[in-house]
C-alpha cells in the first residue's frame, strides 16, 4: 500500500514542486518536426519526472500543461494539445494510479470538449484516494483566472475578501503552496502560473528543453533548493535563531 503523505520527505526536500514545462516547440524545431511532436515527447518527460518525484519523496507536483493564453496558438497546435491530453488520459492514468498518484486538473473546464472533460473527471475520481503523490496537471489554467474565480466564489458566498477566504477557493486549495518552482527551456518568467501560490517559492531555471528533462535535472534543481535560505520575510538572524538547537538539545 502507498505510504501516507505525512510520513514522506524531509526538511531538505520540497513538499511541493511546480514546473513550467517549456521548450517543447524548440526541441521539435531542432529536429525539423512539427511542434506537436515536441509536446508528445513532453508527455514522456512528464512520466519520467513523476517517477523521479516519487523516488525523491516529493509529495505534490504541479505542472503547466495548457495555459489560458495557449488558445491563441496556431489552431493545429491547440487541437494537437487537446488530442494529446485525451490520448495521455487513456494511456497514462492507469500507470499513475498503480504508482499511488492522485491526479487533479486545476483550470477552467468550461471551454474543454465533453470528451476531454469526461476523461479528466474519470481520472480524478479513479485516483482520488491515492496518497503517494498529488499531481496537479494545470490545464486551461491561468493565475489571474484563478484569483478572479476564487474572488467570485467568495463574493457569491457573501464572505469578506480576506487572504484566507481567497486561498480557500483557489484551484490548488487542496495542497500547500509550492516550495520550488522550476522552469525549463532557459526562459526566466512565471507566465501567469500559480502567481498567488508562488509568493514564497524558490525559483530555479534550467537550460534543458522540457523533452530532455529527467531525474538528473530534477536532482540539480533539488540540490540548488537545498542551498537556499528560505526567510519568508524574516532576517537571516531570526531564521537561524529559530532553527538553532537549544542548549538542552545540544547536550
250 is catalytic: no
Q: Which of the stretches 39-47, 105-113, 143-151, 231-239 binds ligand FPP when contact is defined by CB under 6 A?
A: 39-47
Asked whether position 60 contacts ligand FPP by CB under 6 A, the answer is no
Q: Given 24, 55, 70, 240, which residue is catalytic?
A: 70
Smallest distance, ligand FPP to C-beta of residue 205, A: 13
Q: C-beta of 7: minimal distance to ligand FPP in Å?
A: 30
Establish if 185 lies at the interface with ligand FPP (CB under 6 A): yes
3-state secondary structure the chain: CCCCHHHCCCCCCCCEEEEECCCHHHHHHHCCCCHHHHHHHHHHHHHHHHHHHHHHCCCEEEEEEEEHHHHHCCHHHHHHHHHHHHHHHHHHHHHHHHCCEEEECCCCHHHCCHHHHHHHHHHHHHHCCCCCEEEEEEEEECHHHHHHHHHHHHHHCCCCCCHHHHHCCCCCCCCCCCCEEEECCCCCCCCCCCCCCCCCCEEEECCCCHHHCCHHHHHHHHHHHHCCCCCCCCCHHHHHHHHCCCHHHHC
Q: Is 70 in the site for ligand FPP (CB under 6 A)?
A: yes
Candidates 9, 26, 47, 145; binder of ligand FPP (CB under 6 A) is: 26
Active site residue 212: no
Rule CB under 6 A: say whether 39 interacts with ligand FPP. yes
Among 65, 93, 154, 170, binds ligand FPP (CB under 6 A): 65
81 near ligand FPP, rule: CB under 6 A: yes
Q: Using CB under 6 A as the criterion, which residues of the chain lie in contact with ligand FPP when the complex forms?
A: 21-26, 39, 42-43, 46, 65-66, 70, 81, 84-85, 88, 185, 210
Residues labelled as active-site residues? 22, 70
Amino acid at each position: 500500500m502507498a505510504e501516507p503523505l505525512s510520513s514522506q520527505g524531509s526538511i531538505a526536500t520540497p513538499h511541493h514542486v511546480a514546473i513550467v514545462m517549456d521548450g517543447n516547440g524548440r526541441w521539435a524545431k531542432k529536429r525539423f518536426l512539427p511542434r506537436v511532436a515536441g509536446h508528445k515527447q513532453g508527455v514522456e518527460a512528464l512520466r519520467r519526472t513523476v517517477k523521479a518525484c516519487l523516488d525523491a519523496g516529493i509529495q505534490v507536483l504541479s505542472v503547466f500543461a495548457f495555459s489560458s493564453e495557449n488558445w491563441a496558438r496556431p489552431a493545429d497546435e491547440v487541437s494537437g494539445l487537446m488530442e494529446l491530453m485525451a490520448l495521455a488520459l487513456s494511456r497514462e492514468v492507469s500507470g499513475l494510479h498503480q504508482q499511488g498518484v492522485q491526479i487533479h486538473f486545476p483550470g477552467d473546464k468550461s471551454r474543454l470538449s465533453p470528451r476531454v472533460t469526461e476523461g479528466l473527471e474519470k481520472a480524478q475520481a479513479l485516483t482520488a484516494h491515492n496518497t503517494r503523490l498529488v499531481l496537479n496537471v494545470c490545464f486551461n489554467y491561468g493565475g489571474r483566472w484563478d484569483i478572479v474565480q476564487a474572488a467570485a466564489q467568495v463574493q457569491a458566498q457573501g464572505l469578506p475578501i480576506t487572504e484566507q477566504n481567497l486561498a480557500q477557493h483557489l484551484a490548488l486549495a487542496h495542497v500547500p503552496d509550492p516550495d520550488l518552482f522550476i522552469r525549463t527551456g532557459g526562459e526566466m518568467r512565471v507566465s501567469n502560473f500559480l502567481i498567488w501560490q508562488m509568493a514564497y517559492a524558490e525559483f530555479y531555471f534550467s537550460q534543458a528543453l522540457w523533452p530532455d528533462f529527467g531525474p538528473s535535472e530534477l536532482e540539480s534543481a533539488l540540490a540548488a533548493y537545498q542551498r537556499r535560505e528560505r526567510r519568508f520575510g524574516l532576517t537571516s538572524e531570526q531564521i537561524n535563531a529559530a532553527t538553532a538547537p537549544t542548549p538542552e538539545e545540544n547536550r
